[in-house]
A and B are shown apart, each in its own frame.
Chain A
Amino acid sequence: MSIDGLQQHELHDSWLIRGATLPNGTRTDIRLAGGRIAELGTGLSQSGARVIDADGLIALPGLVDLHAHLREPGYEHSETVLSGSRAAARGGFTSVFAMANTLPAQDTAGVVEQVLALGESAGYVDVQPIGAVTVGLAGKQLAELGAMASSRARVRVFSDDGFCVSDPLLMRRALEYVKAFDGVIAQHSQEPRLTEKAQMNEGALSGELGLVGWPAVAEESIIARDVLLAEHVGSRLHVCHVSTAGSVDVIRWAKARGINVTAEVTPHHLLLTEDLVRGYDARFKVNPPLRAREDVEALRAGLADGTIDIVATDHAPHPVESKDCEWDAAANGMVGLESALSVVHAAVVATGLLDWADIERVLSRAPAQIGHLIGQGNPIAVGSPAELTLYDPAATRVFGRADLAGTSSNSPYLSMTLPGDVRATFHRGYATVLDGAVRSSLEIAGHARGIVTHG
């Protein structure tokens, strides 16, 4: 990729991407101007735009992550909205839904507006706050869902993620209530009593390693209950981080029955299995836990046949000391924004289950639709907002610390060989990543303020 034809007055406004391959396989030039996709076609004239040679690169609509933990306010030693936004841009994302388990929790209009504002001033991606379902994620009392919905943050996705809304009556009420503003409840499906002190997938390996099991039924029973509740009250349900073969079956059944349910799977559940727990390396500790090979196969098949609608990262940064310890004491979670596209590439594209048009759907269009996010998830077409990712599918890299752009380094992929690499990301018409490198925070904040900073 080379950049030439610099014209200072249009430096950040106008781009000509030469010879990119669209998800459907057609090859085209793409002109970005005025924050939109201005022109498609071959042999477009340079006319003052900066030119990017995208020969061999796939152009995807900017990726949308429905499930990330940006940790601010409250856990800024793990991640901030700014650092998480940089991680997102590095991974090809142009929008991130920020989960509600901050401190204070995102359970009031004030906090979600604060997170929205932090995202706006960072400027790398659209940061869309998720609202808590219950006050303090405590599962006792509904948070002010309507106030969050009508706030400047326009919250439409509500989740107590990290905790399950396990009280069936509270879950019913939440599902019903958000119908008033076409919201959706994103459930962390984990029956709490069946998973007390749980440390890893329950199975033959947990028995051998002496780690308390997290049984599949604890996820599947909640999903089964929730789809029936959603059917009963005619509401929309989204299932976070589906991790078991049985869950895929339950969701497939619910969809066949016409229940309004959507589901997500994480990149790590598509690629990694519980066998990695054998060395008690806490980088592989995550909730829901890594499962068995059969579960991974079922999740891939579920994503391929549309039972699972989207891939979402569950990006969960933690400081070193939360992982550099014995297994029981370690925190759950992995960072995932920077590696997501490569991991999905390895798990379902390289294996022939999904093509790049499917990737556009599961990592951009469908998550934007589920979250009712305006300005994201649109096809690469003239007039669409200039939200774009250029991905080199032929690259191969040993994933390392330098590939991470957030504050934390708790990635399970460090020193693993992964395919592909995000070469450039465009958000609102300006580049947040160029030549595989995240642009400076100062430059991007300048764009976000609408000020073009030269040099």
Chain B
Amino acid sequence: MRHLLSTKDLSRDEAINLLDIAEDMADVAQREVKKLPTLRGKTVVNLFFEDSTRTRISFEAAAKRLSADVINFSAKGSSVSKGESLKDTAQTLAAIGADGVVIRHPASGAPAVLAASGWIDAGIINAGDGTHEHPTQALLDAFTIRRRIHGQASRSRGLDGVAVTIVGDVLHSRVARSNLWLLTTLGAEVTFVAPPTLLPSDTTLWPARFSFDLDDAIDAGPDVVMMLRIQTERMSAAFFPSSREYSRVWGLDDARFGRLAPASIVMHPGPMNRGLEISSAAADSANSTVLEQVTNGVSVRMAALYLLLSGDRKESKNVD
């Protein structure tokens, strides 16, 4: 794998292979010494043009467990905030000798531009670009669902027939997009529930069902309910009237949570707005995988870094 830019481009075999390697990585985490020598001598740069402590430390932990050297480059307080271009930043990292770049950027497509530019030869991992994709989040979500459903027998399995309902600000969510493509590729059936203002205006190319009614969606008995973070600043842009109304109509409150099947899975990519899109009872329940998602995130990111950076990259298959 040359780069990991989106889940839309991943084949089922590639996705399952990555998830299986993540299982191996998860096994390592159970050992007393949690470290592998695989990426010793490789340099991974976490290039974050947006604040995201959670994603950055997850990638940092993943790279360190593979013995890579990690450089954290935050756009705030750096030359980037003084107007340095993406091109100059990338060429600087290339000159330093980065083997892998984990990029978080507010502009959709920035990782793709970086990968296609020729400014830098490193493997690129998209750690969230604008409202486009966040592939490692979707991979860790799929990994978490697969483990909950299949346990120790997860290896080599997809998510065939699993009903996943994703609720919230789909329009602005890179997590929703990455999950749509990956979960569908793995055989799951995806339903989006959102106010009409927070769905893309044209969803004809999205292989999913759409609903404006969370109660209907809950009563349909999904295997997984994934709540997306709602940003209250969307209110000022008239996407919805108030956080109270949002919570009442599209939040996973105690009553709706109570109607879910006992074995159903409640997910959230974090950070949560407790009491807004998800109630504390739901978030802290045994159904909730919120902390498992964080744990699994490290394993999945180890697998991605391993696939991109181990061995001779020039001979590796190009799947960008």
Distance A328 CA – B106 CA, assembled complex (angstroms): 9
Identify B107's interface contact among A205, A208, A328, CB under 8 A. Answer: A328
* A211 CB-CB contact with B under 8 Å: yes
| Known A327-B113, A328-B107; contact A207-B130, beta-carbon cutoff 8 A | no
- Chain A, residues 202-230, CB within 8 Å of chain B (1/0): the string is 11111111111101000000000000000
| Known A202-B202, A207-B201; contact A280-B109, beta-carbon cutoff 8 A | yes
Interface residues of A in 263-288 (CB under 8 A from B): 279-282
A326 & B116 in contact (Cβ 8 Å cutoff): no
Residues of A contacting B133 with CB < 8 Å? 210
CB closest residue in chain A, given B119: A324
A325 & B113 in contact (Cβ 8 Å cutoff): yes
A326 & B202 in contact (Cβ 8 Å cutoff): no
Beyond A207-B201, A321-B87, list 13 extra A-B contacts (CB 8 Å). Answer: A204-B202, A204-B206, A207-B205, A209-B109, A210-B132, A211-B130, A280-B112, A324-B85, A324-B87, A326-B86, A328-B106, A328-B107, A329-B107
Distance A326 CA – B117 CA, assembled complex (angstroms): 10
Q: Closest 6 CB pairs between A and B?
A: A207-B200, A280-B109, A210-B132, A210-B131, A328-B107, A210-B108
A280 & B205 in contact (Cβ 8 Å cutoff): no
* B44 CB-CB contact with A under 8 Å: no
Interface residues of B in 49-101 (CB under 8 A from A): 85-87
Residues of B contacting A205 with CB < 8 Å? 205
CB distance from B218 to the nearest CB of A (A): 25
* B23 CB-CB contact with A under 8 Å: no
* B129 CB-CB contact with A under 8 Å: yes
User: What would be 14 A-B contacts, judged by CB atoms less than 8 Å apart?
Assistant: A204-B205, A204-B206, A209-B132, A211-B109, A280-B110, A281-B116, A324-B87, A325-B86, A326-B86, A326-B105, A326-B113, A327-B107, A327-B110, A327-B113
Residues of A contacting B85 with CB < 8 Å? 321, 324-325, 329
* B204 CB-CB contact with A under 8 Å: yes
CB distance from B313 to the nearest CB of A (A): 22
Distance A340 CA – B197 CA, assembled complex (angstroms): 40
Q: Which residues from chain A sit less than 8 Å from chain B, CB to CB?
A: 199, 202-213, 215, 279-282, 321, 324-329
B206 & A211 in contact (Cβ 8 Å cutoff): no
A280 & B201 in contact (Cβ 8 Å cutoff): no
What's the tally of chain B residues with a CB closer than 8 Å to chain A?
Answer: 29
A280 & B113 in contact (Cβ 8 Å cutoff): yes
CB distance from B291 to the nearest CB of A (A): 28
Residues of A contacting B113 with CB < 8 Å? 280-282, 325-327
CB distance from A202 to the nearest CB of B (A): 6
| A202, A206, A209, A213 pick with most chain B CB within 10 angstroms | A209
Residues of B contacting A215 with CB < 8 Å? 201
CB distance from A123 to the nearest CB of B (A): 37
* B229 CB-CB contact with A under 8 Å: no
Distance A280 CA – B106 CA, assembled complex (angstroms): 14
CB distance from B192 to the nearest CB of A (A): 11
Distance A205 CA – B107 CA, assembled complex (angstroms): 16
A207 & B203 in contact (Cβ 8 Å cutoff): yes
| B107, B171, B174 pick with most chain A CB within 10 angstroms | B107
- Chain B, residues 156-182, CB within 8 Å of chain A (1/0): the string is 000000000000000100100100000
CB distance from B163 to the nearest CB of A (A): 22
Residues of B contacting A279 with CB < 8 Å? 112, 116
| Known A326-B107, A326-B110, A329-B107; contact A213-B86, beta-carbon cutoff 8 A | no
Distance A208 CA – B202 CA, assembled complex (angstroms): 9
- Chain B, residues 110-142, CB within 8 Å of chain A (1/0): the string is 101100110000000000011111000000000
A210 & B130 in contact (Cβ 8 Å cutoff): yes
B108 & A209 in contact (Cβ 8 Å cutoff): yes
CB distance from A262 to the nearest CB of B (A): 31
Distance A115 CA – B171 CA, assembled complex (angstroms): 46
Residues of B contacting A207 with CB < 8 Å? 171, 200-203, 205-206
Distance A425 CA – B130 CA, assembled complex (angstroms): 47
Distance A325 CA – B105 CA, assembled complex (angstroms): 12
Distance A204 CA – B86 CA, assembled complex (angstroms): 28
Residues of A contacting B129 with CB < 8 Å? 210
Distance A280 CA – B126 CA, assembled complex (angstroms): 14
Identify B109's interface contact among A204, A321, A324, A326, CB under 8 A. Answer: A326
B201 & A328 in contact (Cβ 8 Å cutoff): no
Residues of B contacting A280 with CB < 8 Å? 108-110, 112-113
CB distance from A168 to the nearest CB of B (A): 21
Residues of B contacting A327 with CB < 8 Å? 107-110, 113
CB distance from B5 to the nearest CB of A (A): 10
Distance A199 CA – B129 CA, assembled complex (angstroms): 15
